[in-house]
Amino acid sequence: MSLPEPLPDCYEGDPDLLPLDEALRRIRVHVQAIEESETLPLIKAHARIAARDIASPIDVPGHTNSAMDGYAVDGDSLPDDTWRLFHPIGEALAGHPFIGNVEPGQAVRITTGAMMPSGTDTVVMQEHATIEDQGIRIPPGNRKGQHVRERGEDIAAGAVVIERGRRLMPAQMGLLASLGVAEVEVFRPLRVAYFSTGDEIRSPGEDFAPGLVYDSNRFTMRGMLERLGVEIVDLGIVPDRRDAIFQAFEKAAMSADVVLSSGGASTGEADHIKEALSALGQVGFWRIAIRPGRPLAFGFIEDAVCFGLPGNPVAVMVTFLQIVAPALRAAAGESCFRPPPEMEARCTVSLRKKPGRVEYYRAVLERDENDALVVRDTGRSGSGLLHTMSDANCFIVLPEQGESIAPGEMVRVQPFFGLI
């Protein structure tokens, strides 16, 4: 993968920041999906992505059957204006069809899902019939063809049921199993290598001293990557040295489809991420109009897509969820996905907003005493305060041209249940 032509590092309309919509557009244009695929038993294909359209090998239902418990009859023999007595001649159960032909005036006791007997095209619900010593008495008001599911009514043999690019989640797995599909062709897992940068960073369990911080970013990134079903390559912590960061990017790009780093993407003298991308490959952009998460680098090294995420932990999560995750889905071959759902809620607090950038507030969505949706932020909004992300269940999304919010105003809300 590579950029077909050099792109400016920033938006022409602003010397510093690229609008979020433009950043996402560039990613959509330049990130290509993997093509390699493999065939797996269906039981092992959960959360994998279909590499081709999957057509149904059978009709569903596979036979014309009853949609109700009741009596199968010839619809032309139903009474018009008075009760009529039908003679019972047997029963049809699911998996045990009635053998023989049903004549007008005869009835077969039938259960839901059972094959319609020959000579019948209508089911009278058991609640609408009366059992007598002489037979089954059926009242007027029933209609020919009622309570019957025709063969192929739901799915016709040969119809596409799973499109190429759809992730096989539980409903899709069950659907394919119901059609007798035993194997599926899926894209191979996307390989993602990631690392944290910083001389002050330590992993949990390592020796600790004043001036050091524990690395949370690799843990949040790993959790988010696992939710996407990618193959993960953890390269650990890389020192803030030019040679070390260059080597980490080279190693990662050789072994993975996508490279993620956290830290070192801003403008400090020890920030070598953009320099490494420029020297080893190409840079598409490196600052975007988003808060938190402005210093985010995007580019390529050979065929590997590269993202340099910020160092602050909340900024890492925001930029991953809003920008990196859609790119990973596209690179993995997932084309049939929907953006996270949004809704409106009344904000109960005031929120400061600077025009010209999209802002994401960590927030709590709940219902008030009138059962109306209300939302409030989780407190201080610093991008290093990871506990505010842990306390939240949604983002409040303030659009690029929006302004500060007063209590009582309606805001856009992005619940985490559709995002994380």
Say if 266 falls within a structural domain. yes
**Domain edge (last residue) among 119, 149, 179:** 149
Q: Give the bridge partners for 373, in sequence order.
A: 367
Q: What is the pLDDT of residues 142-153, one digit of tens each?
A: 999 999 999 999
CATH number at residue 376: 2.40.340.10
Say if 9 falls within a structural domain. no
Say if 337 falls within a structural domain. no
Same domain, residue pair 24 and 51: no
Same domain, residue pair 203 and 315: yes
Q: Which residue has the tokens 């607090």?
A: 349
Same domain, residue pair 294 and 412: no
Mean pLDDT of 337-346: 88
Range of the domain at 378: 343-418
What's residue 2's pLDDT? Answer: 46
Mean pLDDT of 172-186: 97
Look at residue 16 and tell me whether its pLDDT is greater than 80: no
Number of domains in the chain: 4
d(CA 49, CA 339): 17
Same domain, residue pair 215 and 324: yes
In 302-378 the beta strands, taken as DSSP E runs, fall at: 304-309, 343-347, 358-367, 373-377
Mean pLDDT of 186-209: 92
Same domain, residue pair 23 and 53: no
Cβ partners under 8 Å of residue 417, min gap 6? 393
Same domain, residue pair 178 and 206: no
Same domain, residue pair 97 and 129: yes
Look at residue 11 and tell me whether its pLDDT is greater than 70: no
Q: Give the bridge partners for 193, in sequence order.
A: 233, 259
Q: Are 240 and 337 in contact (CB under 8 A)?
A: no
- The predicted model scores a pTM of 0.85
Same domain, residue pair 208 and 174: no
Q: What is the pLDDT of residues 277-300, one digit of tens each?
A: 989 999 988 889 999 998 899 999
Say if 161 falls within a structural domain. no
Q: Are 399 and 392 in contact (CB under 8 A)?
A: no
**Domain edge (last residue) among 300, 331, 362:** 331
Q: Are 296 and 342 in contact (CB under 8 A)?
A: no
CATH number at residue 133: 2.170.190.11
Same domain, residue pair 214 and 271: yes
Same domain, residue pair 180 and 50: yes
Say if 390 falls within a structural domain. yes
Q: Are 304 and 1 in contact (CB under 8 A)?
A: yes
Same domain, residue pair 320 and 223: yes
